[in-house]
C-alpha cells in the first residue's frame, strides 16, 4: 500500500534538489511503517534545546540537522550522554559552529544506553530489485561486513532466518546481563523495510544504523538515512502478474513446445559436410532427426540425394523451427524473411553480436532485436548451440546420448551445454529430457525456458548454468515455486565479480553480487553449485536418493584413508560424524569381532569387507540404532581389486552385495559409495567402470572422492529442509 505522505515528502525533497531525506524526515517515514525510532525534538535556539532536553529527560543526545548534513559522526556533529543544561548548551554551540552553513537545527534525542548495535537497510539490486539487509551495526558495519540480504518481498520465516545468519548472531541472545533481543520486533522491522521497498520505487536506499538494543531487549532506530532515486531511475510501474503476462507466457510455452518437438526444420546456411567440420545441418541429420529437414543455401550443392533450397519462401511448408547459421551481417535479412514467410520460431546459431563487446556487434544485435520484436519472432540465441531433445531426435551439435532421461538443462553457454550433457550421461549414466543453450537471449531468456520446463512432465530435475539474468524478480518467483515440485540445481558463474556501482548508503556498499545471490538461493531453495562437475555430483544424489533428511553420517571403510581426515571432510561439508553410543559400540563389537577393527565413527574394519554378512549386520545395527541418517561405504579399490573372483574382481562382488543386500539394511536411509584409488593398476582401471555400473544401475550413487560425496549429500539435505520450511511458510500465510 503506497503511502501518500511518503510520496509527498519525497516529491518535496526532489523539488528542493535533494536526493536524500533529513534524519528527522527519514525517521518519520520509518515510523509510519511501524519501525521503532527514538523519540526526538528539534531546536533552533539554545534555550529551546535546553527546554526540549528537560522534556525528553536527561541524559540526551544532540545532533546537527540539515538537508546537506550526512556523515555526521565523522564531522563531529553528534554529542552523546549530555547530563546537564550546561552540557546541552555547550554541545548546541559546538554543533552549530562545526556545521557552519549546512546547519538548520539541532535534533534532540534521549541518550539510549545499550551495548548491542545492529543495522538494517534497503537497496535496489540491479537484477533483483528491492532487497533488505540485516547485520552488525555501529562503527563496525563496514569494517566487518557481517551482513545478510533477502530479496523483497519477504515473509516472516525468511526474515527470521536472516537473524541466524550473521556471524555476530550470539549478540541476539541474552548477553552480559542484558535480555535477549526482541526478535519479533526485529522481524517486523525487516518486513517493514521490504514493504517500503515494494511500495515506493522512488526510494533507492535506506540505512538504519545503529539499531540499539536496550537492556530489556527492545530495539530502537537511533539514526536513519533515506536515499531517493534519480527521476530517470524510478521504474514506471512495478511489474504485476496480470492476464496479459499469463497470455504471453502461455504463448511462449506453446512455441517452445513446437520447437522441442519439431516435425520440420529448415537450416539457413546449410553446407556440405567436410571432415571434422560436419556443419549444423549434418549434425541434425546424423543424430537421426526423423521429421522433414530442409537445407537452405542459395549456393548449396545437393549431396547424398539431399536437395538444397534457395530461400525460406521456396520451402513447401512453414516449418516448426528455423536454424540460422549464416554470417552475422546477413542475419537481419534472414530474420526479415522469417517474418515475411510466417516462420516465427528461430534459433540463431551465429555469433558476433553483443557478446563481442564491440561496436558493430552491439549495433547488429540491436537491429535484429528490433526485427524480431516487431515481427513477433520467438528467438533462441544468437550465439548459442540451441537444442538437444533426444526424444525428438533433435541435436544441433556433434554428439550426445540418444537415451532420454529425467534431467533438463538450461545453459547460457553453448560449451557448457555440450560438456554437461556429455559428462552426466557418460560418467553417471543419467540422461536428458531437454537441453537448451540460449546465448545472448534476444527475445527468449532463461525465465521463459524455466517456465516451459516447470510445465514439462518429462522434466523431473532442472539444471541451469547462468551468467546473468534479465528479470531477477521473475526468476526468483519462478524458481521458488518450481523448487517445491522439482529440484533446481543452479551453477551461477561470475559470483566473485567485483560489482562496482555508485551507491550512496552504507547498505549499498555492502551489497555485492555474491551476497544477493546467496539470498536468491536461500529464498528459492535452488541448490547452488560451483562447477559442471559439482552440478553432476549433486544431480546424481538428487536423482538416486532424494529422501535425505538428516546430517548424522557414518563412513565404513578400511585403513588409513578412513581416519581423522574423514571427520575433516564431513565437517567442511556441514555433515556430522557423531560418536556412537556405548550401547551401539558394544553391539557392533559383538558383530564385527575384536581383531583389527576400529569401532568408532568412521568405522575402519577389514572384516566388514571380507565377510559381507558382517557388513550387512553392521548396516542393520547402525540403522536400527537411530543414531545415523546416512551411510557411506568407502571402497579401497587398490585393495579390493587385488582379490579375484570367478565373475571379476572382489570389488565387483562388494558392489553387487551393496545393491542386492546392503541397501536393504539401511531402512530406507541414503546409502552412498565412494571409490578410493591411488594406483593406476590395469586390473583396477578395468574394474572401476564395472563397479560404477553395478552401483549406478542399482540406484546407489558412487563418487570418486569422499569430499564430493559428502558435499553433494549435504546440499541435498539442505534442499529438502528448504522445502519443509517453504511449506511451513505457506501454512502460516493461510
Distance CA 728, CA 720 (A): 13
Is 74 a binding residue for a second copy by CB under 8 A? The answer is yes
User: Minimum distance between the CB of residue 11 and a second copy, rounded to whole angstroms?
Assistant: 33
Of the residues 485, 643, 667, 686, which one makes contact with a second copy according to CB under 8 A: 643
Angle, in degrees to the nearest 10, between helices 156-165 and 706-733: 140
User: By CB under 8 A, which span of 60-68, 91-99, 140-148, 726-734 interacts with a second copy?
Assistant: 140-148
Could you say which of 112, 272, 391, 427 contacts a second copy (CB under 8 A)? 427
* C-alpha–C-alpha distance, residues 511 and 513, integer Å: 7
- Of 109 and 569, the one with the shorter C-beta distance to a second copy is 569
Secondary structure string (H, E, C) spanning 685-723 = HHHHHHHHHHHHHCCCCEECCHHHHHHHHHHHHHHHHHH
Q: Answer yes or no whether residue 241 interacts with a second copy by CB under 8 A.
A: no
Instruction: Check residue 647 for interaction with a second copy (CB under 8 A).
Output: no
Contacts of 175 (CB under 8 A, 6+ apart): 115, 116
Q: How far is the CB of 139 from a second copy (least distance, A)?
A: 5
533 binds a second copy (CB under 8 A): yes
Binding mask 467-486 for a second copy (x = CB under 8 A): x-------------------
Task: Assess 317 for contact with a second copy (CB under 8 A).
Answer: no
In terms of Cβ atoms closer than 10 Å to its own Cβ (0-12, 13-18, 19+), residue 486 is middle
Element housing 366 (H / E): helix 359-375
Which residues in the 357-386 window bind a second copy by CB under 8 A? 357
Closer to a second copy at the Cβ: 166 or 262?
A: 166
CB of 622 to a second copy, least distance (A): 19
Contacts with a second copy in 599-618 (CB under 8 A)?
600
Q: Give which of 323, 293, 726 is closest to 524, Cα–Cα.
A: 726
Characterise 529 by phi-psi region: left (phi > 0), alpha (psi -120 to 50), beta (else). beta
Residue 116 binding a second copy, by CB under 8 A: yes
For residue 702, give Cα distances in angstroms to 427, 663, 675, 695, 709: 10, 13, 7, 7, 8
Q: Is 110 near a second copy (CB under 8 A)?
A: no
Positions in 146-185 near a second copy (CB under 8 A) = 146, 167-168, 170-171, 175-177
Interface region with a second copy, contact rule CB under 8 A, candidates 2-10, 144-152, 230-238, 453-461: 144-152
How far is it, in rounded angstroms, from Cα 389 to Cα 403?
Answer: 10
Dump the DSSP string for 312-361.
Answer: GGGSSS--SEEEE-S-GGGHHHHHHHHHHHT--EEEE----SGGG-SHHH
The CA distance from 51 to 45, in Å, is 10
Instruction: Report the residue from 288, 342, 596, 613 that binds a second copy according to the rule CB under 8 A.
Output: 596
CB of 358 to a second copy, least distance (A): 9
Contacts of 448 (CB under 8 A, 6+ apart): 249, 252, 256
By C-beta, is 30 or 713 nearer to a second copy? Answer: 713
Judged by CB under 8 A, the chain residues 543 through 572 that form the site for a second copy are 558-565, 567-568, 571-572
Give the Cβ contact number of residue 536 at 10 Å: 23
Residues 287-306 that bind a second copy (CB under 8 A): none
Return the axis-axis angle of helices 446-455 and 243-260, rounded to nearest 10°.
80
Contact flag: residue 676 with a second copy (CB under 8 A): yes
Confirm or reject binding of residue 679 to a second copy (CB under 8 A): yes
- Cell 567402470 belongs to 689
Indicate the residue among 495 and 723 with the shorter CB distance to a second copy: 495
Q: Which stretch binds a second copy (CB under 8 A): 18-26, 371-379, 417-425, 548-556?
A: 417-425
Site membership for a second copy, residue 112 (CB under 8 A): no
Cell of 418: 555440450
Kindly state whether residue 399 participates in binding a second copy, applying the rule CB under 8 A: yes
11 binds a second copy (CB under 8 A): no
Q: According to the binding rule CB under 8 A, does residue 419 interact with a second copy?
A: yes
Q: Is 286 in the site for a second copy (CB under 8 A)?
A: no
- As measured in angstroms, the least distance from the Cβ of 643 to a second copy is 6
Nearest to 171 by CA among 211, 117, 112: 117
Q: Judged by CB under 8 A, does residue 72 bind a second copy?
A: no
**Distance of alpha carbon 320 from the chain centroid:** 34
Residues 621-640 that bind a second copy (CB under 8 A): 636, 638
Rg (CA), the chain: 32
- Smallest distance, a second copy to C-beta of residue 201, A: 30
582 binds a second copy (CB under 8 A): no
204 binds a second copy (CB under 8 A): no
Among 495, 606, 612, 690, binds a second copy (CB under 8 A): 495
Q: Which of 90, 311, 705, 718 binds a second copy (CB under 8 A)?
A: 705
Chain residues 12-41 in contact with a second copy, contact rule CB under 8 A: none
| Selected binder of a second copy within 429, 493, 504, 666 (CB under 8 A) | 493
Report cis status (omega within 30 of 0) of the bond before 487: no
**CB neighbour burial string for 654-670, b if at least 16 within 10 angstroms, e if fewer:** bbbbbbeebbebbeebb
Amino acid at each position: 500500500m503506497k503511502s501518500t505522505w511518503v510520496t509527498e515528502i519525497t516529491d518535496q525533497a526532489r523539488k528542493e534538489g535533494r536526493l536524500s531525506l533529513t534524519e528527522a524526515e527519514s525517521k518519520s517515514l520509518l515510523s509510519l511503517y511501524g519501525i521503532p525510532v527514538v523519540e526526538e525534538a528539534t531546536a533552533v535556539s539554545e534555550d529551546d534545546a535546553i527546554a526540549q532536553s528537560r522534556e525528553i529527560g536527561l541524559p540526551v543526545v544532540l545532533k546537527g540537522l540539515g538537508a546537506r548534513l550526512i556523515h555526521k559522526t565523522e564531522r563531529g556533529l553528534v554529542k552523546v550522554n549530555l547530563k546537564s543544561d550546561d552540557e546541552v548548551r555547550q554541545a548546541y554551540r559546538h554543533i552549530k559552529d562545526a556545521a557552519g552553513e549546512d546547519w538548520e537545527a539541532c535534533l534532540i534525542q534521549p541518550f539510549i544506553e545499550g551495548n548491542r548495535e545492529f543495522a538494517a537497510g534497503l537497496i535496489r539490486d540491479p537484477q533483483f530489485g528491492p532487497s533488505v539487509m540485516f547485520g552488525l551495526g555501529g562503527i563496525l558495519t563496514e569494517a566487518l561486513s557481517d551482513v545478510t540480504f533477502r530479496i523483497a518481498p519477504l515473509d516472516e520465516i525468511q526474515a527470521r532466518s536472516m537473524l541466524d545468519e550473521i556471524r555476530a548472531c550470539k549478540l541476539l541472545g541474552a548477553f552480559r546481563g542484558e535480555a535477549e533481543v526482541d526478535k519479533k520486533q526485529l522481524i517486523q522491522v525487516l518486513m517493514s523495510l521490504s514493504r517500503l521497498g515494494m511500495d515506493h520505487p522512488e526510494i533507492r536506499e535506506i540505512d538504519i544504523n545503529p539499531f540499539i538494543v536496550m537492556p530489556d531487549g527492545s530495539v530502537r532506530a537511533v539514526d536513519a538515512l533515506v536515499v531517493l532515486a534519480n527521476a530517470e531511475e524510478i521504474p514506471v510501474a512495478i511489474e504485476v502478474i496480470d492476464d496479459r503476462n499469463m497470455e504471453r507466457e502461455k504463448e511462449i510455452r506453446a512455441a517452445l513446445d513446437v520447437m522441442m518437438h519439431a516435425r520440420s526444420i529448415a537450416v539457413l546456411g546449410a553446407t556440405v559436410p567436410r571432415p571434422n567440420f560436419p556443419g549444423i545441418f549434418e549434425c541434425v541429420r546424423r543424430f537421426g532427426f526423423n521429421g522433414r529437414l530442409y537445407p537452405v543455401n542459395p549456393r548449396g550443392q545437393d549431396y547424398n540425394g539431399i536437395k538444397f533450397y534457395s530461400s525460406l519462401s521456396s520451402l513447401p511448408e512453414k516449418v516448426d523451427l528455423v536454424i540460422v547459421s549464416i554470417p552475422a551481417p546477413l542475419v537481419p535479412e534472414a530474420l526479415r524473411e522469417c517474418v515475411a514467410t510466417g516462420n516465427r520460431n528461430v534459433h540463431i546459431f551465429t555469433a558476433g553480436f553483443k557478446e563481442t563487446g564491440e561496436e558493430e556487434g552491439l549495433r547488429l544485435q540491436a537491429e535484429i532485436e528490433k526485427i524480431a520484436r516487431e515481427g513477433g519472432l520467438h528467438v533462441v540465441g544468437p550465439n548459442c548451440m540451441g537444442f538437444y531433445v533426444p526424444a525428438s531426435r533433435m541435436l544441433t551439435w556433434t554428439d550426445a546420448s540418444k537415451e532420454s532421461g529425467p534431467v533438463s538443462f538450461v545453459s547460457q553457454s553453448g560449451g557448457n551445454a555440450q560438456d554437461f550433457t556429455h559428462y552426466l550421461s557418460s560418467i553417471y549414466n543419467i540422461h536428458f529430457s531437454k537441453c537448451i543453450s540460449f546465448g545472448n537471449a534476444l527475445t527468449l531468456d532463461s525465465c521463459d525456458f524455466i517456465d516451459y520446463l516447470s510445465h514439462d512432465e518429462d522434466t523431473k530435475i532442472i539444471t541451469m548454468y547462468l551468467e546473468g539474468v534479465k528479470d531477477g524478480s521473475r526468476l526468483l518467483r519462478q524458481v521458488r515455486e518450481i523448487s517445491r515440485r522439482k529440484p533446481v540445481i543452479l551453477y551461477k558463474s561470475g559470483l566473485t565479480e567485483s560489482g562496482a556501482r555508485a551507491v550512496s548508503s552504507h547498505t549499498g556498499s555492502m551489497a555485492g553480487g555474491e551476497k544477493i545471490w546467496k539470498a536468491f538461493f536461500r529464498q528459492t531453495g535452488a541448490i547452488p553449485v560451483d562447477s559442471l562437475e559439482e552440478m553432476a555430483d549433486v544431480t546424481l544424489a538428487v536423482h538416486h536418493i532424494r529422501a535425505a533428511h538428516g546430517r548424522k553420517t557414518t563412513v565404513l571403510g578400511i585403513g588409513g584413508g578412513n581416519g581423522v581426515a574423514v571427520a575433516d571432510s564431513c565437517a567442511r561439508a556441514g555433515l556430522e560424524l557423531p560418536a556412537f553410543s556405548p550401547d551401539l559400540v558394544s553391539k557392533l563389537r559383538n558383530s564385527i569381532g575384536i581383531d583389527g577393527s576400529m569401532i568408532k565413527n568412521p568405522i575402519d574394519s577389514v572384516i566388514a569387507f571380507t565377510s559381507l554378512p558382517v557388513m550387512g549386520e553392521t548396516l542393520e545395527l547402525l540403522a536400527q540404532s537411530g543414531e545415523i541418517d546416512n551411510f557411506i561405504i568407502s571402497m579401497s579399490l587398490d585393495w579390493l581389486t587385488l582379490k579375484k573372483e570367478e565373475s571379476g574382481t572382489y570389488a565387483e562382488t562388494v558392489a553387487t552385495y551393496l545393491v542386492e543386500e546392503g541397501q536393504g539394511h539401511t531402512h530406507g536411509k541414503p546409502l552412498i559409495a565412494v571409490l578410493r584409488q591411488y594406483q593406476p593398476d590395469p586390473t583396477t582401471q578395468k574394474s572401476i567402470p564395472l563397479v560404477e555400473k553395478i552401483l549406478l544401475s542399482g540406484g546407489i550413487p558412487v563418487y570418486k572422492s569422499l569430499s564430493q560425496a559428502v558435499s553433494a549429500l549435504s546440499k541435498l539435505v539442505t534442499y529438502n529442509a528448504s522445502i519443509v520450511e517453504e511449506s511451513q511458510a505457506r501454512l502460516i500465510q493461510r
